Amino acid sequence: MPLAIFQTIDFLTTLSNFIVALAVLGVALLVLRYHRTGFWLCVTATLLLAVLGLTPVSSFALGMLEDQYAVPELSSPPAGIIMLGGATEIPVSSSRHVLAINGAGERLTMTAALAIRFPQARILLSGGPGHIAADGLVTESSIARDLLTELNIQAGRISMEEHSRTTYQNAVGTTALVKPKPGEVWLLVTSAYHMPRAIASFHAAGFPVTAYPVDFRTYGANFPYSIPTGLENADLVVHEWLGMLAYRFAGRATQPDDIRP
């Protein structure tokens, strides 16, 4: 897919961007004297902004995703720990020569905590350039590895899958590297809202991982503290819903036996 088309789709499928686009189009139509259409586009954008930004709707929807998997009680050491990319900031890390993390940084801190708790477990970091437009010289996995070694996790325990740009590619690339044996328990560490799509992708790839969700964003039907927070929650929900729909349609996500549709 050409980069310009991908970026346009990515922009419009981000709900907050779509709302802004509706408002801008509405104002433009009002200026061009298409008053009725312009008026209703502006009203629609305003209503979406109010409902998603100032009510618990987006938090409730995000909570439904986060509630699908609970943090497991581990009775025995796992064979390994898989951490999906998404917790590091490649542009900031590259330009400022630092190891930068973002709001999903709990993926890294929990991976480090699990690595310390289970010193014999292998660690697999899955994450490539992070975006289709990235140059690939620095990857999410390489930044995460450097951060883990800074936290005194032995580099020899860490393997990396550095080519994936999507969740399904995470699953396929990780499965090929790990070659899991029957009966092995591998923990999958990623954000709770992302876990349903991640588990479905690994299931489709033939790798029965155990969910270890982190980075919870909700606590019941809580109201967002601000319009940006509400819109951020809505963006995450729509991204996951559209991603799961696309994966199901393409055969890249299948339902595990313990999760009902």
Sequential pLDDT tens for the chain (261 residues): 454 565 667 777 899 999 999 999 999 999 999 999 999 999 999 999 999 988 889 999 999 999 999 999 998 999 999 999 999 999 899 889 999 999 999 999 999 999 999 999 999 999 998 655 455 578 999 999 999 999 999 999 999 999 998 999 999 999 999 999 999 999 999 999 999 999 999 999 999 999 999 999 998 666 666 888 999 999 999 999 999 999 999 989 887 754 433
Indicate the domain borders of the chain: 3-55, 74-215
147 φ/ψ sector (left φ>0, alpha ψ -120 to 50, else beta): alpha
User: Which is nearest to 125 in space by CA: 203, 201, 206, 190?
Assistant: 190
User: Which is nearest to 213 in space by CA: 125, 111, 123?
Assistant: 111
Correct CATH for 74-215 of 1.10.10.10, 3.40.50.620, 3.30.1330.10, 3.40.1190.20: 3.40.50.620
Sign of CA dihedral 187, 189, 194, 198: negative
Contact by Cβ (8 Å): 19, 49: yes
User: Is the whole model's pTM more than 0.85, yes or no?
Assistant: yes
76 φ/ψ sector (left φ>0, alpha ψ -120 to 50, else beta): beta
